Structure 1
Amino acid sequence: LAAIPSVVLGLWGILVLGPYLAHHLEPGLHDKLGFVPIFGAPEATGTGLFTAGLILTIMIVPIIASICRELFLAVPNELEEGALALGTTRWEMVRGVILPATRSGIAAAVILGLGRALGEAIAVTQVIGGGTKISHNVFGPSDTLASKIASSYQGAASGIEASSLLYLAAILLVMGLLANVVAQIIVRRFDPLRGAR
């Protein structure tokens, strides 16, 4: 799934996921949980924050899973064999040896995946609905920094509108950089295989 282009996932979200959500999931959630403001959508459209969140989840889970797989393979065999030799079950070995040894890497993988989702523009622009403000419910149209830049930059006239989009791009760049720096700090500081620094 990580090799599927963003535009293809966005198109799938518009043509398949959005109509399914509009006809099956959104009306049910509105009927059962309509008293909660975030589920109080007046109409089911299949586009909005919820659909964009699902598309982003589909995009980042393979990235996080592949990084975690590499982390699990990097745990020394001696640790695994030692735990099994002491009579632990495979699940106890995973819970007591592998997960603690890779905890910081897993946290860093999640942060890197969220950083990837933060900068995703094309798929989100296709399914978020193009609202001009942040919606009060998860099914309403909205906008993200990346989708606002992608949808507005082509038509931006020179002047204040273009400048504001460039400022949004700078904010997005700083947020992505901070996500990567935090991930690096977590890995370096709390890596039990190398020792805390």
Structure 2
Amino acid sequence: MTLAMAEQRVDARRDKAVKRFALTDAVFAGISRAAAILVLLILSGVAISLVVGSWQALSTFGFSFLTTESWNPVTEKFGALAPIYGTVVTSAIAILIAVPIGIGIAIFLTELCPRPLRRPIGIAVELLAGIPSIIYGIWGLFVFAPFVQTTIQPFVINLFKDVPGLSSLFAGPPYGIGMLTSAMILAIMVLPFVTSITKDVFDTVPAVLKESAYGIGCTTWEVIRRIVIPYTRVGIMGGIMLGLGRALGETMAVTFVIGNAHRISPSLFAPGTTISATIANEFTEADGELYTSSLIALGLILFFITLIILAIARYMLMRIGRKAGA
């Protein structure tokens, strides 16, 4: 009788524990589902508010809003082509500069750097991500732009002045500020994100893979090219996309050094503007409904540009994953 009662008590405790665990799992699943739905609702709310706010400009100008360069608040003629061009060009150049340097730094820190120096250098690189963008902008305007104006731009202009194509790409008076200066500042801001994520994914490579490659006579370069990078290419792509997202949405640093000119020039040394810089500069001065709606329409365009780039990145990651599985 005592044994039967003990077994019943054990069964009761087991049933109670199972019910408690089931309740905990149900609560956890509900909270997770609610969080996911909340993110979708916030994203949808942002998109709807942007569409509603920009509807007047979109209905007034139509598709020409995307293809017109003119931006004149006096005559209320607005076009988004110049900010779109500046956003895409500066972000693309920043990524082209930052990605090779960031991957190189990550390779050095994980494969070549002496162990006592790895942590200090890694911390120094990561601290760059914590510097406010306004500091980058002030430094770019008062330190970097004068250096570019007196040193880099005159040298590049003289170097390519007789080269077809490149002469127009690097032409014009050396202002110091402009598209290329803005892109270089963005590259510095993007660099710690690319480096940090790439370094972290490099650290996930199993040591046995690299040791096996060294054991059959591979050089360090061969190990990096044939083992490390293929194993971590999905993570590298994620770091690049994160850096690109930062470059697309950067505002204050770009506003300081890009020149804020609503025109498209083939020269990278010419002043220009971006979507975020235009909104930051002019939103407080927008006194008309059409003017305000046009600025909100720029925000809507930037929103969709970001979504498209993230969708492309997701598709690329899926293809890389499928190839790796194959």
TM-score over 0.5 (shorter chain): yes
Mean Cα deviation higher: 11-20 or 180-189: 180-189
Find the counterpart in structure 2 of residue 53 from structure 1. 183
Find the counterpart in structure 1 of residue 157 from structure 2. 30
Work out the CA distance in 1 between the residues paired with 2:253 and 2:295.
19
- Output the amino acid matched with 2:151: H
Find the counterpart in structure 2 of residue 93 from structure 1. 223
From 225, 228, 232, the counterpart of 1:102 = 232
Q: Deviations over 1:6-37 (max 9, x none)?
A: 11001000000111111111122222323411
- Output the amino acid matched with 1:114: L
- Output the amino acid matched with 2:149: A
Find the counterpart in structure 2 of residue 82 from structure 1. 212
Work out the CA distance in 2 between the residues paired with 1:50 and 1:115.
18
Find the counterpart in structure 1 of residue 192 from structure 2. 62
Q: Deviations over 1:89-123 (max 9, x none)?
A: 33322121111112233233223212210111110
Q: Deviations over 1:111-155 (max 9, x none)?
A: 321221011111001100110112221111111111111111111
Find the counterpart in structure 1 of residue 170 from structure 2. 39
With over 3 angstroms needed to count, the CA separation of the structure-2 counterparts of 1:23 and 1:69, relative to structure 1, is same
Aligned residues: 195
- Output the amino acid matched with 2:316: I
Q: Contact 1:10/1:123 (CA < 8 Å) preserved in 2? A: yes
From 18, 30, 38, the counterpart of 2:145 = 18
Find the counterpart in structure 1 of residue 290 from structure 2. 160
* TM-score (structure 1 length as normaliser): 0.90
Q: What SS does the corresponding residue of 1:19 show, helix, strand or coil?
A: helix
Work out the CA distance in 2 between the residues paired with 1:165 and 1:173.
13
> Are 1:111 and 2:238 matched, yes or no?
no
With over 3 angstroms needed to count, the CA separation of the structure-2 counterparts of 1:134 and 1:97, relative to structure 1, is same
Q: Deviations over 1:72-92 (max 9, x none)?
A: 111222322222233323332
Find the counterpart in structure 1 of residue 305 from structure 2. 175
Find the counterpart in structure 1 of residue 67 from structure 2. none
Work out the CA distance in 1 between the residues paired with 2:211 and 2:223.
9
- Output the amino acid matched with 2:308: L
* TM-score (structure 2 length as normaliser): 0.56
- Output the amino acid matched with 1:34: K
Q: Contact 1:102/1:191 (CA < 8 Å) preserved in 2? A: no
Q: What SS does the corresponding residue of 2:313 show, helix, strand or coil?
A: helix
Structure with higher Rg: it is 2
Work out the CA distance in 2 between the residues paired with 1:184 and 1:73.
23
Percent identity at matched positions?
Answer: 37
Compare the two structures and name the one with the higher helix fraction. 2
Work out the CA distance in 2 between the residues paired with 1:93 and 1:148.
46
Q: Contact 1:48/1:142 (CA < 8 Å) preserved in 2? A: yes
Q: Deviations over 1:140-173 (max 9, x none)?
A: 1111111111111111123111111111101111
Find the counterpart in structure 1 of residue 273 from structure 2. 143
Q: What SS does the corresponding residue of 1:111 show, helix, strand or coil?
A: helix
